Amino acid sequence: MRGFDYRRPHMIIKINKKKCLVEAGERTLEVFDFSNLKASSFVIICDKNSNTLFNDYLTPILKKTGIPFFFIELAEGEDNKNIESIISAAREMVRNGVDRKAVIISLGGGVVGDRAGFLASIYMRGIRYIQIPTTLLSQVDSGLGGKTGINIPEGKNLIGTVYQPEAIIIDTFFLKTLSDKEWLNGMAEIIKYAVIGDKKLFDLLEKNINNRSKDFILAVIEKCIKIKLDIVAIDEKENGLRKILNYGHTIGHALETVSEHKIKHGEAVASGMVYEAMISNILGILSSKDTERQNRLIKSFGFNISTDLNLEEILSVIKNDKKVEDGLVYFVLPNKIGSVKKIGSGVVIPVEIEVIRKVLKSMI
C-alpha cells in the first residue's frame, strides 16, 4: 500500500483477491469516475441528515454520467439499524427495477454504511457497492474493511456479512458539517488505532488536542486508513489479526446496547478503552503509567466515561458477545502505548467475568 498524494490521492488495495479503489482527500468525490463502473443504475442509500446535507453535492456529479439513479432514505440511528429497514429498501429496489448490474452508493455515516453494505451483500445474492463515508468515524473506521451488519435486541451487529466495496471515497469536505459530538465519535476510533498500533500517532494526538486543521486531519486519516486496511488485507474475516481492531469495543458495545444507543458509539468505545486498559493493568499487562497516559488523553478530548447504567445488564450483554468462548471473554489488551499483548500468533486474551465485574464496579 503506497502513501497518499493529496493532489490526487489514490490507491488500490487487494483484499482476498478483490481490488478496492480508495480515494482520500478534499473534494475527491468530484474526481471519482462513476461512469467507469458501467452500472445499469445507482441506488443511493442515505438517511435524512446525509440526504439533506449532501444531495446537492452528489446529484450533479451522478447526472453527468447519464446513468439513472435514485435515493432511498433510511430512518436514522442505531435503533433503526434493523432487518425491517433492509427489507423495506430491498423491496423499493425491486419496485424500481434494480438489477444485478446496479451499484449501491452508501452516503452517510456508519449506521448508513453498515446497512448499505449488508443490503448490497444480499440483494440478488450480491451486487456492487461504493462507500462514501461522511463522518470522521466512518472515514477512519466503519467505512473501511467491508464489515456490514444490523442490530437485534440481544446485541449490536450480531447479524452481518464481510463484503468489500468496489471503492471507498473519503472526502474531507463532508467533515465541515460535523457537530462536536460527531467529531468526538471519530476521535475515539483514532485514539484506538494509536493505542493498539501507532505510538507516533498517539504522540501526535497528545500535541494536537484542539487541532482541526485540514493538514492535521488528512495526516490522521491517512494513518488510520493504512493501519486498518493493512490489517484487513491480511485477515479479512477476523480469524486472527483483525481482532486487534476490537479494542474498547467489547465493553463499548455493551454500553451502547444497555443505554439503548443513547450513548454514542465513540463515547462508548472511549469508555470501553478506559475499562479495558484497567483490566490489562489488573492482569499485570499494561503499566499504571501507560494506563494513566491513555486515560488522560481520552479525558483531554472531553469524553464522559462515567455511567449510571446497571452493572448486571452490562455484564449480561458482554456474556452474549461474539468474543465469548467457554464462559471467558476474549479481549484485546494493550501492553504498552502502540502495542497489544499477544499469545502465540493470537491477539486476544481470555478474561474471567469476575475481573470485568471488578473493573466496572469501580467505575459505576
The DSSP secondary structure of 298-341, one letter per residue, reads HHHTT--------HHHHHHHHHTSTTEETTEEEE--EEETTEE-
CATH number at residue 148: 3.40.50.1970
Domain boundary among 152, 178, 204: 178
Degrees to nearest 5, angle at CA 79 with 76 and 85:
65
> Mean pLDDT of all residues in the chain?
92
- Tens of pLDDT, residue by residue over 49-88, are 999 999 999 999 999 999 999 999 999 999 999 999 999 9
**183 located within any domain:** no
Do 149 and 204 lie in one domain? The reply is no
- Cell numbers of 83, please? 432487518
Q: Give the list of residues 6+ apart from residue 3 with CB closer than 8 angstroms, or none.
A: 222, 226
Do 160 and 110 lie in one domain? The reply is yes
The answer, yes or no, to whether residue 4 has pLDDT greater than 50, is no
**91 located within any domain:** yes
> Which range in 2-6, 164-168, 238-242 is most confidently predicted, on average pLDDT?
164-168
Q: Give the residue with greater pLDDT, 146 vs 11.
A: 146
- Cell numbers of 139, please? 472515514
How much is the pLDDT for 11?
A: 65
- Cell numbers of 287, please? 503499566
Do 94 and 127 lie in one domain? The reply is yes
- Give the three-state DSSP class for 210: coil
CA 264 to chain centre: 13
Do 109 and 256 lie in one domain? The reply is no
> For residues 166 and 179, what is the distance between their CA atoms, to the nearest angstrom?
29
Do 355 and 214 lie in one domain? The reply is yes
Whether 145 contacts 193, CB under 8 Å? no
Do 168 and 200 lie in one domain? The reply is no
Look up the pTM and report it: 0.90
Q: Looking at the chain, which runs of residues are DSSP E strands?
A: 11-15, 18-25, 42-47, 69-74, 103-108, 128-133, 150-152, 155-159, 167-171, 324-325, 328-331, 334-336, 339-340, 349-351
**Beta-bridge mates of residue 169:** 23
Q: What percent of the chain has pLDDT over 90?
A: 80
**5 located within any domain:** no
How much is the pLDDT for 320?
A: 86
Do 174 and 213 lie in one domain? The reply is no
Residue 140 DSSP one-character state = I
Task: Give the domain extent around 316.
Answer: 190-363
CATH number at residue 343: 1.20.1090.10
Domain boundary among 178, 211, 235: 178
**316 located within any domain:** yes
**1 located within any domain:** no
Radius of gyration of the CA atoms of the chain, in A: 20
How much is the pLDDT for 6?
A: 37
How much is the pLDDT for 10?
A: 58
The backbone region for 97, taken as left when phi is positive above 0, alpha when psi lies in -120 to 50, beta otherwise, is left
Do 144 and 249 lie in one domain? The reply is no
Task: List Cα–Cα distances, 60 to 57, 64, 79, 148, in angstroms.
Answer: 7, 6, 32, 28
> For residues 15 and 44, what is the distance between their CA atoms, to the nearest angstrom?
24
> For residues 134 and 148, what is the distance between their CA atoms, to the nearest angstrom?
16
- Tens of pLDDT, residue by residue over 249-304, are 999 999 999 999 899 999 999 999 999 999 999 999 999 999 999 999 999 999 98
Concatenated DSSP letters of 203-218: HHHHT-TT---HHHHH
- Tens of pLDDT, residue by residue over 206-223, are 999 989 998 899 899 989
The answer, yes or no, to whether residue 245 has pLDDT greater than 90, is yes
- Cell numbers of 100, please? 444485478
Do 173 and 61 lie in one domain? The reply is yes
- Tens of pLDDT, residue by residue over 83-142, are 999 999 999 999 999 999 999 999 999 999 999 999 999 999 999 999 999 999 999 999
**155 located within any domain:** yes
- Give the three-state DSSP class for 107: strand
Give the long-range contacts of residues 221-226, CB within 8 A, separation 24 or more.
221/24, 221/139, 221/140, 221/170, 221/172, 222/3, 222/4, 222/24, 223/193, 223/198, 224/140, 224/141, 224/189, 224/190, 224/193, 225/22, 225/24, 225/140, 225/144, 225/170, 226/1, 226/3
> Phi and psi of 249, rounded to 5°?
-90, -25
**262 located within any domain:** yes
Q: How many C-beta atoms surround the C-beta of residue 225 within 10 A?
A: 25
- Cell numbers of 354, please? 469476575
Do 225 and 329 lie in one domain? The reply is yes
Do 320 and 222 lie in one domain? The reply is yes
Domain boundary among 178, 208, 224: 178
Give how many domains the chain has, as a whole number. 2
Q: Which of 173, 179, 161 is nearest to 221 (CA)?
A: 173
- Cell numbers of 258, please? 444497555
Do 123 and 213 lie in one domain? The reply is no
Q: Which of 223, 228, 234 is nearest to 246 (CA)?
A: 228
- Give the three-state DSSP class for 72: strand
The answer, yes or no, to whether residue 8 has pLDDT greater than 50, is no
